[in-house]
Amino acid sequence: MISVQNVTKRYGSVVALDGISFEVSSGEVLGFLGPNGAGKTTTMKILTCFIVANAGTVSVAGYDVIEHSLDVRRRVGYLPESVPLYGDMRVIDYLRFIARAREVPARERKRAIGRVVSDCGLGPMLGAGVGELSKGYRQRLGLAQAMIHDPDILILDEATSGLDPSQIVEIRALIREVGREKTVIFSTHVLQEVSATCSRVLIINEGRLVADDAPEALRAQASREQTSLVQIKGAGGTEIKQALDALAEVRSCRLLGAGPGGYHELRVESDFGVAIGERLFKLVREKGWTLNELRTERATLEDVFLALTKGEGRGGGGATV
């Protein structure tokens, strides 16, 4: 659906994109991560034909962005980062303008507008001036204009920035919904958003791709181990520790001390992905001990992100924390 090959973009002497390559297939919801200034927005501007790269080839929906720019633009819906809408128009007039400009046939325009108005919850605001909208409604109108022509590809630059938590949940749900049928690329620096909505994550830093994988896989990559905190009573601390150490799944175990209520607190390290909780629970039952707390922590996407974007010269594959 989208193919980016060795794309470089310079702004004067600043290199914004440094030979970036990736592909997106149909129906993927792709999260685009990276610190500010990493090149996310630049990439999106190139994909939507707003700017032209210095080198490399980009094709969207099978069309080259330079040779067949109009064909690309017809198939893409785009929400720029700052949501730059015409403030002097009324919401309904703005949608009519975009529908016309997006070549929605006259007889289908009303239905197309009705669809995005209900999808984005713009109903109460149709008569309002665009310039008077709250941030949340502005964002919704921005999404509505990007979807009015029912594009195959949606490109959203920080679609949830500046929204309140309930609005963020709504917009994410909308993106997931849209993502069932369409290809969606959205940039963000809210990492939970990626795990909440994406099937795949690209992380870029200083104009280069540093990771490209599913959110779960990235998390696994970042941490080969998982750490569990467990509180057990029914035997002496050392005895418990030895029993835990004896388990094949446990790589190491450390007695942290006595917790409240006579429990011993221990920290257990195991390989990533092992069902350590199940194993510990079985052991406790066999021995007739009592289990109070069992908590397993995995590396978060934040850890992955920080590792990939702060480290020097890390490649795409073997990043570890």
Three-state SS string over the chain comes to CEEEEEEEEEECCEEEEEEEEEEECCCCEEEEECCCCCCHHHHHHHHCCCCCCCEEEEEECCEECCCCHHHHHHHEEEECCCCCCCCCCEHHHHHHHHHHHCCCCHHHHHHHHHHHHHHCCCHHHCCCEHHHCCHHHHHHHHHHHHHCCCCCEEEEECCCCCCCHHHHHHHHHHHHHHHCCCEEEEEECCHHHHHHHCCEEEEEECCEEEEEECHHHHHHHHCCEEEEEEEEECCCHHHHHHHHHHCCCEEEEEEEEECHHHCEEEEEEEECCCCHHHHHHHHHHHHCCEEEEEEEECCCHHHHHHHHHHCCCCCCCCCCC
The helix-helix angle for 135-147 and 165-179 (nearest 10°) equals: 10
Q: Which of 37, 62, 87, 236 binds other proteins (CB under 8 A)?
A: 87
Residue from 37, 67, 86, 108 in contact with other proteins (CB under 8 A):
86
Nearer to other proteins (CB atom), residue 37 or residue 315 = 37
Give the binding range for other proteins (CB under 8 A) out of 101-109, 114-122, 132-140, 268-276: 101-109
Minimum distance, C-beta of residue 33 to other proteins, in the bound complex (Å): 22
CB of 145 to other proteins, least distance (A): 7
Of 45 and 279, CB closest to other proteins: 45
Q: Which stretch binds other proteins (CB under 8 A): 93-101, 120-128, 275-283, 308-316?
A: 93-101
Unique residue bearing structure tokens 């080969």: 224
23, 88, 239, 297: which one binds other proteins (CB under 8 A): 88
Please tell me whether residue 16 binds other proteins under the rule CB under 8 A: yes
- Asked whether 190 and 197 are in contact (CB, 8 A), the reply is no
Q: How far is the CB of 90 from other proteins (least distance, A)?
A: 8
Task: Compute the least distance from the CB of residue 20 to other proteins, in Å.
Answer: 15
Q: Cβ closer to other proteins: 53 or 280?
A: 53
- Residue 202 Cβ, how far from other proteins at the closest point, in Å? 21
Smallest distance, Å, CB 64 to other proteins? 15
Q: Can residue 36 be called a binding residue for other proteins (CB under 8 A)? A: no
9: contact with other proteins by CB under 8 A: yes
Least distance CB 193 / other proteins (angstroms): 22
From residue 46 to residue 85, the character string flagging contacts with other proteins as x (rule: CB under 8 A) and all else as - is: --xxxxx-----------------x--xx-x-x-x-x-xx
Most distant CA atoms of the chain, gap in Å: 79
Number of Cβ within a 10 Å radius of residue 171:
22
Chain positions 214 to 233 lying near other proteins, rule: CB under 8 A, are none
The verdict on 100 binding other proteins (CB under 8 A) reads yes
Q: Least Å distance between CB 65 and other proteins?
A: 11
Interface positions with other proteins (CB under 8 A): 9-11, 16, 42, 45, 48-52, 70, 73-74, 76, 78, 80, 82, 84-89, 93, 97-98, 100-103, 145
